[in-house]
Structure 1
Amino acid sequence: MNKEMFDMSTIDDTNFAATFRHLDGIMVGLAGALLGKLDGGSVGYDGQYYGYMWSQVYSQDMSEARFAKDGGVMNEKAGLDYRNKILVPGGSRDAMALLEDFLGRSPNPEAFLRSKGLDTIQRTA
């Protein structure tokens, strides 16, 4: 499946399933690129932590909206969309545009809030 889905061969003595644990890291990296555009490239621990938290917002949104909804990280359509809409264009397009294309909408913090147990907050209109 590795060859068919990603057009690359499996490396001997590797755990194919564990290979996909890096997706969170890639999503965090994408989110960091997005944040760099949003906050002017903050430096220092506070700026880095702020960036880290926003990367979690984006990665949770991507994970829940596409991978969990489409059957997990092994879902062929979600994987191919991730490759074609995020990895292939890379830095040739604005990172927020890539994220919006992948999600099919603007990103939102709802998945992140749920992941932190904050989904019970009542919102006022």
Structure 2
Amino acid sequence: MRSAPLSLSGCFGAHRVVVALMGSLLLSSPASSANEGARDQCAAAAFFANCIMRGRQSGASLEDVRSYADKELARFGAPPAAKAYYRSIVSEAFRHPRYSKKAAQSEAMKEFSDFVFADCIKLLGR
């Protein structure tokens, strides 16, 4: 396996606490106080989605991105629910086309990030 593209470095670093907490939020009841932080949790998921789509648009392979994400999730001790959620973001990113023009790549990153944020809010706000 090749090393992860530079465009993916830092996708988890600033948000390791968020990754660890995501699992408990995904499993918590709607009335729990943990859901009060849903907006911050979803902003972190959207940041991750933007990083992953940046990797996708820069030509990183699905295998490399999955491997990088799995390594980082393990390193930060992410619970199973968080691992599943973040892996689904990786899979979803590779269902979208790769663009050659920078403007289209930037738009794809923004749209994907917005999609993940909205989806996360819907999931955590159940």
Normalising by structure 1, we get a TM-score of: 0.33
Greater C-alpha radius of gyration: 1
Normalising by structure 2, we get a TM-score of: 0.33
